[in-house]
Amino acid sequence: MDEVRLIEVKEGILADNKKTAEALKQSLKSKKVFMVNLMASPGSGKTSLILKTIEALRKDLTIGVIEADLDSKVDSEKIAAQGIKAVQLKTGGFCHVDATMVAKGLDAMNPDGFDLIFIENVGNLVCPAEVDTGAALDAVILSVPEGDDKPLKYPVIFAAVDVLVVNKMDFMELCDFNLEAMKERVRALNPGIAIFEVSSRTGQGVEEWSNWLKNKVREYQA
């Protein structure tokens, strides 16, 4: 009987994606375009945070957005309505975007002249965690109504990102969300992570987050 061969499909796919992602990073670095991969659960406030950040930074930075959804243009239309260049990626069932998809979005956008480009990844805390998009910065949003236990349930994504934005802080009085316990869990996974407390509805913390991000862009461009 012939021996059954084991083929590591995931490992091969991730390796191929890594090559594409590295090429994207080099290309964007040469153009001084800082790209942020923003990940989160559905309904956590990704689009709202992007809009608030655009509002805070549009006088200082030229900003574009790549939106990714299974099937919708709702979020990209919200961005475009604010006079910001937006490209919609329809993933056709994929629960994340990869570097090849992002490259297509960048080709459609033409990144020359942009300072900052957001990727709004598909709403999911699992699939996007291990997939390199070519971004210079990986960020995740955790909204207060989701609960403080998400780092325990989805440790991979919290260990992988550079920054955590705790959104919907205006819900704190309505929830039993333990902010300090959540921070301890995240820092146990990722000691160097930056954490910001924000409310996209009230504007709480938006200035601090936006200024930090602007400094990251300027350091990258120097």
Q: Between 46-57 and 206-221, two packed helices, what is the crossing angle to 10 degrees?
A: 70
Instruction: Look at residue 32 and tell me if it is in a domain.
Output: yes
Instruction: Look at residue 1 and tell me if it is in a domain.
Output: no
User: For residue 189, what pLDDT is reported?
Assistant: 97
Backbone angles phi, psi at 203, to 5 degrees: 90, -5
Instruction: Look at residue 2 and tell me if it is in a domain.
Output: no
Q: CATH code at 63?
A: 3.40.50.300
**Considering its fold, how many domains does the chain have in total?**
1
| Intervals of the chain under pLDDT 50 | 1, 6-10
Range of the domain at 169: 9-13+17-221
Instruction: Tell me the pLDDT tens digit for each residue of 52-61.
Output: 999 999 999 9
Instruction: Look at residue 155 and tell me if it is in a domain.
Output: yes
Instruction: Look at residue 120 and tell me if it is in a domain.
Output: yes
List of residues 6+ apart from 33 with CB closer than 8 A? 111, 112, 114, 115, 116, 117
